[in-house]
């Protein structure tokens, strides 16, 4: 949450650093695992680690679109808008959450395909965050968590990657 002592630049730098670190850990896990392990879906159901990687990639792309305006769903905040601390928003996310169909991976996805898309999505979101003008940081997006600022979309991206890194770890076994 922005305070009078937190600048736009500081917030962007911190979010980008956290996102890049989360993606580095996630991608390292996927790259280090054998392709067969990454591409194999768990016997008890769910996505393969390649599928998880694809899901992270398309979600990063969606977040980038919100931040850069190519997905024009963000609106100027109401005069009385105040950000809810992201930690409170994150606490509302249920342990099991079904992603919308458009965020589901295709069948037969390879490790190579998933990694390529994830790396490109990382760059796209980092570029969008770095280019976001201060005047847009508090613009709002309606989400399953309520109204988020575009700053918080970046924070959500970090939490999303971490959540799915744990899922990929379980899928790889």
Q: Among positive and negative, which fits the CA dihedral 140, 104, 156, 22?
A: negative
pLDDT digits (tens, 9 = 90+) for 6-27: 799 999 999 999 999 999 999 9
According to the model, what pLDDT value does residue 2 have? 46
Give a yes or no: residue 67 inside a domain.
Answer: yes
Query: What CATH number should be reported for the domain holding residue 74?
Result: 1.20.120.450
Give a yes or no: residue 51 inside a domain.
Answer: yes
Q: Cα-flanking dihedrals φ and ψ of residue 88, to 5°? A: -70, -40
Give a yes or no: residue 50 inside a domain.
Answer: yes
Terminal-residue alpha carbon distance, the chain: 36
Give a yes or no: residue 3 inside a domain.
Answer: no
Reduced to 3 states (helix: H, G, I; strand: E, B; else coil), residue 145 is coil
Q: Once rounded to an integer, what is the mean pLDDT over residues 48-72?
A: 97
Give a yes or no: residue 2 inside a domain.
Answer: no
According to the model, what pLDDT value does residue 5 have? 46
Spatial separation of the C-alpha atoms in residues 68 and 77, rounded to whole Å = 16
Mean pLDDT over the full length of the chain: 92
4 has pLDDT over 50: no
Q: DSSP states of 65-84 as a string?
A: HHHHSSS---BPPPTT--PP
Give a yes or no: residue 1 inside a domain.
Answer: no
Spatial separation of the C-alpha atoms in residues 89 and 97, rounded to whole Å = 14
pLDDT digits (tens, 9 = 90+) for 110-125: 999 999 999 999 999 9
Number of domains in the chain: 1
Give a yes or no: residue 18 inside a domain.
Answer: yes
Q: Once rounded to an integer, what is the mean pLDDT over residues 84-104?
A: 83
Give a yes or no: residue 27 inside a domain.
Answer: yes
Residue 56 lies in domain:
8-172
């Amino acid at each position: 949450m922005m305070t009078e002592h937190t600048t736009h630049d500081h917030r962007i730098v911190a979010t980008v650093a956290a996102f890049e670190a989360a993606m580095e850990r996630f991608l390292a896990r996927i790259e280090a695992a054998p392709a067969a392990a990454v591409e194999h879906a768990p016997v008890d159901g769910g996505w393969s680690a390649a599928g998880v990687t694809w899901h992270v990639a398309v979600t990063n792309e969606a977040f980038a679109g919100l931040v850069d305006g190519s997905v024009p769903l963000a609106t100027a905040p109401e005069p009385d808008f105040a950000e809810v601390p992201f930690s409170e928003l994150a606490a509302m996310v249920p342990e099991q959450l079904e992603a919308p169909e458009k965020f589901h991976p295709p069948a037969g996805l390879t490790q190579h395909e998933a990694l390529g898309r994830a790396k490109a999505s990382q760059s796209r979101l980092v570029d969008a965050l770095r280019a976001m003008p201060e005047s847009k940081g508090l613009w709002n997006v309606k989400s399953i968590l309520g109204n988020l600022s575009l700053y918080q979309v970046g924070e959500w991206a970090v939490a999303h990657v971490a959540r799915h890194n744990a899922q990929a770890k379980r899928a790889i076994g």
